[in-house]
Amino acid sequence: MMEHSVYLDDGGHPDNQPYLLVAGFAATASQWSAFSPVWLATLRKLGLGEVFHMTDFMRDRRTEFQEDRILSQLRYVVQAHTLRPFVSAVDMAAYKRVQNELALEESHGAPYALVGRHFAKDLHEWQARNLGCDDRVNVFVEVGAKHFGDLEQVFKRDGLPIPDRVPKSMAQVQPSDMLAWEVFNFLRAGSPKRMRKNLDLLTRPIRKRQNFGGIFYEHDLRRLCLDPIRVPPRSVIPLDENPIRFGGRGDIKRVRKRTIF
């Protein structure tokens, strides 16, 4: 039996950003153990301190050459110690349009739960293709994401292990922060044909084998609302109490509530 772990970070925000996503990397437990000291040593060598935040890094003024030199060294450490990236995202404008017509959130979860559940599907498919039947995969998410409680409800409903939360300062989460920043800005720019070099090289191995991540646009959300069960229109949902409820094994089924408008 071999232990694997995936560390995820979120990007964007359901309230005021055009996309919400989760992104991260899978590796064996031994790869992650070897990663941490090398990553921290590289941060110190580059004068980046103990914790890498991509937003802070991009805010500092550097030449394109300096930025590329630093990111290439960080990227080398990530790719030398991980197996593959994962990405799952949702177009928030599309989510809200479908949400206004259908009980999307109550049936499939808030945006964070939706993309988290889709990641779990991708992870399961990857496990089936690449890992042994006795191999285990643990999932960790960065603490502080909005709607984590809703993700818990969705995972309990579907009998999935709840991801453990870890601080952003943890070394294994920091490459996920880099990937989430790159993906969010790629999507916000309209998914241009030419990616930033860092995103291109971080994701090129997986893009050669399959589509880049799982991104929910409006047609994907509408298809989701038809399969496997039809999501009810809002016009037929009583105003006093939503009939949609779900919970995990042994849990009291909770009434689902709309929070995204």
Q: Which residue has the tokens 């177009």?
A: 91
pTM beyond 0.85: the answer is yes
- Per-residue model confidence as pLDDT tens digits over 72-110: 999 999 999 999 999 999 999 999 999 999 999 999 999
Q: Is the dihedral of CA 142, 180, 84, 146 positive or negative?
A: positive
DSSP 102: B
Alpha-carbon span 88 to 120, nearest angstrom: 10
State the burial class of residue 109 (Cβ atoms within 10 Å of its Cβ: 0-12, 13-18, 19+).
buried
pLDDT at residue 250 is higher than 90: no
Residue 24: which residues within 8 A CB-CB, separation 6 or more? 6, 7, 8, 9, 85, 86, 173, 175, 176, 179, 180
The mean pLDDT of 251-260, rounded to a whole number, is 83
| Count of CA atoms in the C-beta half-sphere (13 A) of 12 | 27
| Nearest residue to 247 (alpha-carbon basis) of 144, 149, 169 | 149
- Per-residue model confidence as pLDDT tens digits over 175-213: 999 999 999 999 999 999 899 999 999 998 777 665 666
The mean pLDDT of 151-178, rounded to a whole number, is 95
Domains present along the chain, CATH in parentheses: 3-236 (3.30.420)
Task: Assign 3-class secondary structure to 31-98.
Answer: HHHHHHHHHHHHHHHCCCCCCCCHHHHHHCCCCHHHHHHHHHHHHHHHHHHCCEEEEEEEEHHHHHHH
The 8 Å CB, 24+ separation contacts for 125-132 are 126/26, 126/84, 126/86, 131/2, 131/4, 132/1, 132/2
Rounded to 10°, the helix 197-207/64-81 angle is 30
Q: Is the dihedral of CA 150, 141, 175, 26 positive or negative?
A: negative
